[in-house]
A and B are shown apart, each in its own frame.
Chain A
Amino acid sequence: MALLEIKNLTLYIDTGDDTTVKALEKVNLTLNEGEIRALVGESGSGKSLVVRCIIGAIPDYWSIKADRITYNGQDLLNMSYEKRRQIMRREIAVVFQEPTSSLDPSVTIGEQIEESIPPEFIDKGWFWEKNRQRKQIAIGLIHKVGIRDHARYLNAYPHEIPKDVSQKIMIAMALASEPKILIADDSTRGMESTTKTQILRLLVKLNKTKKLAILFVSHDLLAITSIAQSMTVLYCGQTVESGKTRSLLKRPLHPYTKALLDSAPSFQVSLAPKSPLVALDGTIPTLQHLPAGCRLGPRCPNARKECVQVPAPRSIQEHTYSCHFPLHMPEKLSTKPPRMAQGLTATSYEDD
């Protein structure tokens, strides 16, 4: 069953001068129980915006429109503030980008971890017993994420510890409330391969032993393909393709997914050293200058006239894509009237 489900999420950002931009447009995302799903996209594609919409950390000048955002069947959008906070505190945990800047520089690591333990977990009577129990839990947590030398780190300040350790500390803090979902926002950015493997192994272990569902937000394809069972590719605020990692890797249907996979030199077997890599021209457009229709349009190698319309998502065996002219597909088949993704009707895709 879907633990977290997002249907047609559109995020409007008010730019001030009576205009709004659609930072996210009709994003669909489902996270099933005990699944690791990767949310892939380059910077500026709105990955972190999706995360912020889920946790509800949204400033006043943003507004959300969505068919639904549900957690475990409960509607997160029409929920009272307290109830939502409760869920965010106990059920969904987020590890933010840049651990060194998300940790409080003026407080020791130990205190920060202890702070993140919910009060319900402390059942001892007197305050000294409570403090000791809290400390025990904190030590247990950082052992769990693979740091053995707890004495050294609990009394340290964030600037004194290496980046990969602070990443693990952030994961430990997220795990303190024993959540059902862990959202890891770019956890392996800028790490060398040995520490990266450690973090990934830790996430897989948590997923296996605790049935923790993980939304792994990243653009590191190597990391994603080694841990995620399914992935959703985001480009410029639109979901371009989603499905099982295996089928996406085997047969990417969207040109963008293909370009993304081709950009990793390790994935190509017959690539001569120093030969030029395949890359799309140009860069991801800024929010002020979004192209109409399919936002890959100007960069897409097989863009045509039809691409100024937003393509409706179609799906073949849980592999959903949004493209008028998908790869690996005979022309006739792809121009047939679209078979709608599950639960969607044609009317919901007409322009609003």
Chain B
Amino acid sequence: MTKILSVKDIRYTHTVKRGVFSPLQVFELGPISFDMHSGETIAIIGNNGSGKSLLAKALAGAISIDSGTIEIDTEAKHAQAVRMILQHSKDALNPALSIGSILTQTLTLNTQLSEHQKREKIEETLVRVGLLREHYYFYRHMLSDGQQQRVALARALLLDPKIIVADEPFAALDPSVRSQTINLILKLQKELGLGFVFISHNIGIVRHISDRVLVMDKGKVIEQGPTKDVFIDPQEPLTQKLIQSHFAMVEKHFANL
């Protein structure tokens, strides 16, 4: 297990200006530090507005952090080594372009491949995520939810990243499609040794697929550790509340049996 990502004391300040005279609303993220090894899955949990999405964006390089460092063990550019899957994969695909052109854009902007190589790369990736080569010619509206999620995953995988960051990848999916996506991610992780960082509200899934958990509140990581330890013995009141409210529901389920 090699270390592929190390995040040290990153900080980011997000200010919102509502009106001319109203006071600035300031949201401070960090300082946050953690390390990640290859093939590891890290889940970020926390209440709404705790800065989970900001952290994900900071990792992916979508926002530039104020201080601190994000080091990735690779020669490739940051933007290529860390790819992001957005929350609503459906809305993140351009309805006017075919899946092929959407994916080609990613390659044109980031690599020097020839047309032929691009085409090959895209088809290979489509097959890898469980779609067909023919989906190259499809448009967004022709695909089901699960297939759209796969295209989003294909777009992330296209540049052979080390790490995939996903903001609530499972929230909008139906149970059966969700299980399919989870299986796919688990499979890809095993094959490619990907690091996977994801945000989720679904504690059941977090427990099932993550190796480590970060619990966030008000821009800070209040607790982190191996999933097993955090779930067996949560230290912070917020973590306890999140986990207990989930298990209370699970217990009710088993009480029904």
Contact = CB atoms under 8 A, between A and B. Distances in A.
B201 interface: yes
Interface in A264-291: 264-267, 271, 273-274, 276-281, 283-284, 286
Given A264-B175, A267-B253, A277-B183, A222 B242 contact: no
Interface residues of A, number: 45
Contacts, number: 120
A191 interface: yes
A286 B142 CA distance: 10
A273 B227 contact: yes
What interface size band does chain B fall in? 35 or more
Given A190-B171, A197-B249, A283 B146 contact: yes
A193 B242 contact: yes
Interface in B55-97: none
Prevailing SS type, chain B contact patch: helix
B242 A264 contact: no
A246 B186 CA distance: 32
A274 B186 contact: yes
A265 B48 contact: no
B246 A266 contact: yes
A243 to B, nearest CB: 12
Nearest to A299: B176
A267 B257 CA distance: 11
A201 B183 CA distance: 33
Interface string B214-257: 00000000000001000000000000011001101110110011
Nearest to B146: A283
B201 A225 contact: no
Contacts of A221: 175
B47 interface: yes
Interface string A182-220: 000000001111111100100000000000000000010
Contacts of A250: 256-257
B208 A271 contact: yes
B134 interface: no
A147 interface: no
Contact of B242 (A194, A267, A271, A281): A194
A245 interface: yes
B207 interface: yes
Which of A164, A192, A197 has the most chain B CB atoms inside 10 A of its CB?
Answer: A192
A277 B250 contact: no
Interface in B121-175: 144-147, 168, 171-172, 174-175
A194 B201 CA distance: 10
Contact of B253 (A249, A274, A284): A249
17 contacts: A42-B175, A163-B48, A164-B48, A191-B201, A193-B201, A193-B203, A194-B47, A222-B250, A226-B248, A249-B257, A250-B257, A260-B175, A266-B207, A271-B208, A276-B182, A276-B186, A279-B183
In the complex, the 6 A-B pairs of residues with the closest C-beta atoms, listed nearest first: A266-B204, A279-B179, A42-B174, A263-B175, A226-B252, A265-B208
Interface of A: 42-44, 162-164, 190-197, 200, 219, 221-223, 225-226, 245-246, 249-250, 259-260, 262-267, 271, 273-274, 276-281, 283-284, 286
